[in-house]
Structure 1
Amino acid sequence: MWVQKRATGQEYAELMNEFMSAVKQNYGEKVLIQFEDFANHNAFDLLAKYSPTHLVFNDDIQGTASVVLAGLISALKLVGESLADHRFLFLGAGEAGTGIAELIALEISKQTRAPLEEARKKIWLVDSKGRIVKSQLNSLQHWLVDFQ
């Protein structure tokens, strides 16, 4: 067995750039690259960095969110309500919770034609320090800043 430390920092960024370029070069512009089980400090950054140039998907952030949103929309049709009629509280502000929260906000914004910032006000995220609020701005991970 060959044990080696995982790449981090600049080495990690260069490895990902090389990998992403090679996949696109070998398989074409339309190849879907799925990021699975990346640590959240990498997952959000990789999506932001590569989504403008590559077809990328993160199952923890986007896949779970799509399933939850589909369930909510189906359930709300049965009771004759909309997402905007509700407030959503998430216990946990990791990849899955934040991905679900963002997709719900996007759908509320789409349904109501309200700005995304307004739709996000219907969503509360709670982490180990309590509810995400403006006073935490300097200590929040960048993917949580919009949910204060």
Structure 2
Amino acid sequence: FEDFANHNAFELLAKYGTTHLVFNDDIQGTASVVLAGVVAALKLIGGTLPDHKFLFLGAGEAGTGIAELIALEISKQTKAPIEESRKQIWLVDSK
């Protein structure tokens, strides 16, 4: 779906994501492209995703989607709870 307000988009994904095939391009599409870029960059510079901290300027749909996907991947790689992985990520917003 496209262009729902930030809080609505996340609520719709949570509500229908377990029973329907839903996709939000701002949240999930952007996040997958950014994560792919970060993983590719790590192959050039060395290290792993859990070795890094991440800071986002803006906590809109795209920023929060990217942050959550990075946290999920860190959690997958380290086998740590997602809450621990989120501690490596900061989002700064004006609101």
Which interval holds the TM-score relative to the shorter structure? over 0.9
Question: Once superposed, which parts of structure 1, at least 4 consecutive aligned residues long, lie more than 3 Å away?
Answer: none
Q: Say whether 1:62 aligns with 2:28.
A: yes
Residue in 1 aligned with 2:70?
104
Aligned pairs, number: 95
Return the index of the structure with the highest Cα Rg.
1
Q: How far apart, CA to CA, are the structure 2 residues paired with 1:95 and 1:77?
A: 27
Q: How far apart, CA to CA, are the structure 2 residues paired with 1:116 and 1:41?
A: 21
TM-score by length of 1: 0.62
- 2:11 alignment partner, one of 25, 45, 65: 45
Given residue 13 of structure 2, which amino acid in structure 1 is its aligned partner?
Answer: L
Q: Name the structure where strand makes up a greater proportion of residues.
A: 1
Query: After the TM superposition, which residues 1-148 of structure 1 pair with which residues of structure 2 at under 5 Å, given as runs?
Result: 35-129=1-95
Q: How far apart, CA to CA, are the structure 2 residues paired with 1:91 and 1:80?
A: 25
Structure 1 stretches of 5 or more lacking a match? 1-34, 130-148
Structure 2 stretches of 5 or more lacking a match? none
Percent identity reads: 84
By relative contact order (CA 8 Å, sep 6+), the higher-ranking structure is 2
Deviations 1:22-69 (A, max 9, x none): xxxxxxxxxxxxx11111121111111111110000000000000000
Supply the RMSD in Å over aligned alpha carbons: 0.8
